[in-house]
Amino acid sequence: MVGSLNPTALVRLLGPWNSGALPAYRELADVVRLLVMDGRIPLDVALPSERALAQALDLSRTTVTAAYAALREQGFLTAGQGSRGRTCIPHRTSPVSAPGLAIPEGLTDFAYASLPAAGEVVHRAFADALTDLPALLPGFGYDAVGVVALRKAIAEKYCAEGVPTTEEQILVTSGAQHALNIVLRTLAGKQDKVLVEHPTYPNALDAIRAAGCKPSPVGLPGITSRTSPGWDMDAMMTTMRQQRPAMAYLVPDFHNPTGRVMSDLQRRVLVRAAAAAGTVLVVDETLRALNLDDVRTAPMASFGPGVVSIGSLSKSHWAGLRTGWIRAEEDLIARFVSVRAIMDLGGPVVEQLAAARLVRSFDEPLNERLSALRENREYLLGLLGEHLPSWEAERPRGGLTVWCRLPTPSSTALTVLAPDFGVRLAAGPRFGVGGAFEQYLRVPFTLPPAKLEAAILAIRAAQDKLDAAPHLRRDLATGQPPAVAVA
């Protein structure tokens, strides 16, 4: 948004702002800050000049100057050298986490593969959501299926991708992880087998185990740095035929951790094989928007009606929205809804209204996000080649991470040592079952180049320490990788 706020409009928005409890400049700054935070003053809007506002409020110019200085210091007003400052929100270079997720100051978090919010877009969506809210306030606020506007927007997005979908085929969830838990508890009983790619997303493995199910791992073909080897269709089909898993959980769109993408041909074969084996195919499309190489693929659901698709705004827009969804046939959605009611009674309404606006103009933040990620990917691959030349790195087609093969099985030992050098890592075995992937490490390229470089140098230093004292590899590899939170 580009514009300016005239003094009369700002005075109206401020209302009776001056209680006299604090110095006037502080109260003025506090109220302007609140107005920016709740969206009543949009972002990137020029505030009135100091002189004009002082006149309109009948204050000394010094008071307004001090209030604007406080806003600048807090990050709510641009520096505005020689011109009028514009509203903004504070830019933080390090993620601010809730207690429990907080990592010590100065430690780079390489265990999370997630981006900060597409700030202005998300902020504006929340501000606009407040204008949509009054229409829903007369209702009870419990909605186990999800706010209609959001379900419609998600259904339209699938239609636009060539998958006819109605809003009745969408269940809104609190993120993809929540969606997977609902699906597991509906479709898989205790002791049932769930086919997974090996490696796969660690929190999915945890959810499968927590539901009392047994992961049936199917290895992905080995790393090559030139071409992406994709999926082993024969192995998948054999596992389905022989083990008859109740469900298969797959990440065909920029797979976590390898960043691979499944071809349309493989999708078609897989959907047919799953239907023949009586296995419900559950595809996690959380990373589908992070299509760095602009690969054209059709959503898995376009190859057969039985596919259950899970989506999320966490990687395309912001994980803090905690908004995801399930797309499936209507009768299955009804079953998911009754299972969901055991866990929670619906998602928060304002988040869903904001999400509806984001989904309606889904691509808005993507250009900028993707070009930064492309640069980061190249930069990280260059750093790995330069500082860790004995590691083999698979070039990801999309997503947020590079899956690396180490020269020795030392992933757990590195993960234990790395925090001493300033980096938190997720060890390879977190991505597999039965202690596999001790010779692998997932490295994210979500951070800006300077931070990537510092982190890779830190890993190099940890690797040097390990090389100098090889017994550490054995002593530190307990068989149980450190239980760090991963995303």
Of 175, 202, 252, 398, the one binding ligand PLP (CB under 6 A) is 175
Judged by beta carbon, residue 314 or residue 463, the one nearer ligand PLP is: 314
Judged by beta carbon, residue 47 or residue 487, the one nearer ligand PLP is: 487
Q: Does 49 bind ligand PLP (CB under 6 A)?
A: no
Cα–Cα distance, 39 to 482 (Å, whole number): 42
CA 236 to centroid of chain Cα atoms: 28
Cα–Cα distance, 195 to 10 (Å, whole number): 58
Kindly report whether the peptide bond that precedes residue 257 is cis, defined as omega within 30 degrees of 0.
yes
Stretch that binds ligand PLP, among 85-93, 189-197, 281-289, 440-448 (CB under 6 A): 281-289
Stretch that binds ligand PLP, among 33-41, 173-181, 446-454, 472-480 (CB under 6 A): 173-181
Judged by beta carbon, residue 301 or residue 487, the one nearer ligand PLP is: 487
Q: Does 126 bind ligand PLP (CB under 6 A)?
A: no
Q: Which of residues 407-446 bind ligand PLP (CB under 6 A)?
A: none
Give me the residues paired with residue 280 across strands: 247
Cα–Cα distance, 373 to 463 (Å, whole number): 26
Residue 61 Cβ vs ligand PLP, minimum distance, rounded to whole Å? 48
Cα angle: 114, vertex 75, 363; to 5 degrees: 40
Q: Does 314 bind ligand PLP (CB under 6 A)?
A: yes
| Residues 307 and 283: beta-carbon distance below 8 Å | yes
Backbone angles phi, psi at 39, to 5 degrees: 90, 0
Q: Does 256 bind ligand PLP (CB under 6 A)?
A: yes
Number of residues that bind ligand PLP (CB under 6 A): 15
Rg (CA), the chain: 25
- Measured from each CB, the residue nearest to ligand PLP is 175
DSSP 271-301: HHHHHHHTPEEEEE-TTTT--TT------GG
Of 27, 109, 284, 394, the one binding ligand PLP (CB under 6 A) is 284
Q: Which of residues 208-237 bind ligand PLP (CB under 6 A)?
A: none
Tokens 């945890």 sit at which residue?
A: 206
DSSP 390-437: TSEE---SSSSEEEEE-SSS-HHHHHHHGGGGTEE--BGGGGSSTT--
Q: Does 291 bind ligand PLP (CB under 6 A)?
A: no
Q: Does 312 bind ligand PLP (CB under 6 A)?
A: yes
Of the candidates 194, 205, 183, 133, which has an alpha carbon nearest to the alpha carbon of residue 431?
205
Judged by beta carbon, residue 256 or residue 291, the one nearer ligand PLP is: 256
Q: Which of residues 324-383 bind ligand PLP (CB under 6 A)?
A: 324
Stretch that binds ligand PLP, among 2-10, 181-189, 283-291, 465-473 (CB under 6 A): 283-291
In 227-360, alpha helices (H): 233-243, 264-277, 330-343, 349-360
Cα angle: 286, vertex 178, 484; to 5 degrees: 80
Of 66, 122, 292, 319, the one binding ligand PLP (CB under 6 A) is 319
Judged by beta carbon, residue 413 or residue 486, the one nearer ligand PLP is: 486
Of 49, 108, 165, 177, the one binding ligand PLP (CB under 6 A) is 177
Q: Does 286 bind ligand PLP (CB under 6 A)?
A: yes
Of 126, 158, 201, 231, the one binding ligand PLP (CB under 6 A) is 201
Q: Does 309 bind ligand PLP (CB under 6 A)?
A: no
Judged by beta carbon, residue 320 or residue 422, the one nearer ligand PLP is: 320
Cα–Cα distance, 49 to 64 (Å, whole number): 9
Question: Could you list the residues that contact ligand PLP (CB under 6 A)?
Answer: 113, 175-177, 201, 251, 256, 284, 286-287, 312, 314, 319, 324, 487
